[in-house]
Structure 1
């Protein structure tokens, strides 16, 4: 019996597990390697920081889905792989061999410029660590008058986290200060000017100071490229992504930045039995932003292809949409929509986002509804 190994419980693999639960193939063994039995939905992180959701509302319990799909779940971290030998290495020293492999492990936060911040530094990923750390930071801010928190990163994640933190401070009665360091590329690179204008207005209304300069971590906080210092008791890193380091020794073909090179079927360019989806891979035929939006949309195609491999059927391709919809949470129950050159803001956008997010979590939390 052939073995399919899924590494990571990300957005795309949720669709794969759902397909396995529906199709119930009996001619292959499926193993899921994931560090936790609960998958936190990243789209609800800002709302959780702001206090709109409980942790339980933001996470998907993988156990019922895994059971329905007849999948063996291994709770562990991948630390390496050898694509030539068809095996992955786990943090406890075990190796798992595969006939077909699918990787959906995401990327890492690049904190190389901020490491000197030391214990003050909190990367936005991994999410489990962030969810455990944030309540302690909020408690410290409550007991420390004039608490200063800096968020580094001008993309959607940095903006949403900064606005969520500011709202959480206000709701908790924290007399604190929030800074957002965006680097020279400014707010929301790649988004339309109308979206940027709306977001800048939301940041100004929240009294968040925005610094359009590169920041470097120092023990006192963040040093900007003009040599000015932003003192900080905590620095949240929502900076650019980097590929997992263990890929360098994987024998897979990688792009110039270390991500897995895949084609339009999300199949490895070097190893025809390895698939990859989400932030861990890089399409070689088109430019495609690393976004949870694409990870969600590529999931059904990935599921179809993994089943097709075992059945000896042709593989499908994924063509991303010309425009992606982004709904940016702004702290209170207010959000901004970004879709190409269109933008809008209001409480109705937040309720729209809330409906989408809750439906996503509920869909995969209840296998009987699949």
Structure 2
């Protein structure tokens, strides 16, 4: 019996589990290794911060899905890997071997230069930690005068977090303010200037202060490149991704930053029995932004490719072709959003309703298990 191991319950692996529920693999043992039975959906994080969703509405419970798929779930983290030995070491010390492996393990937040902040620093990833800690921040802000919250990061995540936090503090009556710090490269790099203009106009409208220069963490806040300092009760870092550290000793071929190098089929360059998708990998044929959009879209392709390898049909592997332009819907705190799609941008409450419909649909798809699939297993 062959063994397929899925590490991580991320967006792409939800597609694999969904396919397994519809079309079981005879003669194959499938194991899912993930630190938590719940998969938090990053797309709904800003809406959850703003109070539009409960935590339960913002995540997928993997337990019913793995039950319908006939998959064994191990709720532990991977701490080491030997690609040559086809072996994984888990946080509880056990060893898990595999015939075929798929990695959808995400990334961590790059916090270099911010360590001096100590407990004032909250990286947006891991998402589990952020979901646990944000309610305490909001509670503290509601009971403290002039609470100073700073968000660092000029990408879509940083912008959405700043808007959501500003709205959340206002909603609980906090006497505080939100500052958004972006690098000297500017905000929303890669998006059309019209999107940046809309975001900056909305930030001014809701009272978010914007700094555009490099900053490092100090004990009580941030020090900017020009010598200016600001105080911060809390700093949320959405400062880009970095790969999980144990990949360095895995034996897989990585790029200079430590991401797993994969081809267009998301098969690793060094070990054909290992696939990787999402934030943890880097394509050698195209440049892709580290966005959940690509992990979602690559999921069905990954599922088909894993099936093909297990059926000894590697010649029929599919390539994931990212679109030239992806639709980004930036939540603005209240039920209002700004859309970015190539050279086109628009905004309004109807954009929020579109985002809400897409996000709720994603959760619903993987939360409603077909009873016939359960009966098959």
**Interval containing the TM-score (normalised by the shorter chain):** over 0.9
Report what 2:18 is aligned to.
18
**Map of 1:144-163 to 2, 5 A cutoff?**
144-163=144-163
**In structure 2, distance between residues paired with 1:279 and 1:80:** 18
Report what 2:91 is aligned to.
91
User: What is the SS of the residue equivalent to 2:145?
Assistant: coil
1:80 Cα offset (Å)? 1.3
**In structure 1, distance between residues paired with 2:13 and 2:113:** 32
Corresponding pairs, count: 370
Report what 1:340 is aligned to.
342
- Give unpaired runs (5+ residues) of structure 2: none
**In structure 2, distance between residues paired with 1:42 and 1:324:** 16
**In structure 1, distance between residues paired with 2:369 and 2:194:** 40
**In structure 2, distance between residues paired with 1:202 and 1:91:** 44
TM-score, length of structure 1 as denominator length = 0.99
Report what 2:63 is aligned to.
63
Report what 2:321 is aligned to.
319
1:176 Cα offset (Å)? 0.3
**In structure 2, distance between residues paired with 1:319 and 1:81:** 29
Report what 2:359 is aligned to.
357
Task: Confirm whether residue 293 of structure 1 aligns to residue 293 of structure 2.
Answer: yes
**In structure 1, distance between residues paired with 2:205 and 2:370:** 44
Task: Confirm whether residue 255 of structure 1 aligns to residue 255 of structure 2.
Answer: yes
**In structure 2, distance between residues paired with 1:235 and 1:289:** 24
Report what 2:111 is aligned to.
111
**In structure 1, distance between residues paired with 2:290 and 2:119:** 28
Kindly provide the CA deviation profile for residues 248-283 of structure 1, in whole angstroms up to 9, marking residues without a partner as x.
Answer: 000000011110000000000000000000000000
**In structure 2, distance between residues paired with 1:220 and 1:287:** 38
User: What is the SS of the residue equivalent to 1:268?
Assistant: coil
**In structure 1, distance between residues paired with 2:284 and 2:364:** 34
**In structure 2, distance between residues paired with 1:295 and 1:81:** 22
**In structure 1, distance between residues paired with 2:307 and 2:328:** 31
**In structure 1, distance between residues paired with 2:99 and 2:245:** 23
1:194 Cα offset (Å)? 0.4
Report what 1:206 is aligned to.
206
Task: Confirm whether residue 266 of structure 1 aligns to residue 266 of structure 2.
Answer: yes
User: What is the SS of the residue equivalent to 2:63?
Assistant: helix
User: What is the SS of the residue equivalent to 1:140?
Assistant: helix
Report what 1:125 is aligned to.
125
1:94 Cα offset (Å)? 1.1
**In structure 1, distance between residues paired with 2:230 and 2:22:** 53
**In structure 2, distance between residues paired with 1:285 and 1:92:** 37
**In structure 2, distance between residues paired with 1:13 and 1:240:** 22
- Give unpaired runs (5+ residues) of structure 1: none
1:59 Cα offset (Å)? 0.7
Report what 1:305 is aligned to.
305
**In structure 1, distance between residues paired with 2:342 and 2:296:** 19
User: What is the SS of the residue equivalent to 2:317?
Assistant: coil
TM-score, length of structure 2 as denominator length = 0.97
1:206 Cα offset (Å)? 1.2
Report what 2:240 is aligned to.
240
1:368 Cα offset (Å)? 1.0
Kindly provide the CA deviation profile for residues 34-89 of structure 1, in whole angstroms up to 9, marking residues without a partner as x.
Answer: 00001010000000000000001001000110001000000001111000000111
User: What is the SS of the residue equivalent to 1:321?
Assistant: coil
1:21 Cα offset (Å)? 0.6
1:185 Cα offset (Å)? 1.1
Report what 1:330 is aligned to.
332
The alignment's C-alpha RMSD in Å is 0.9
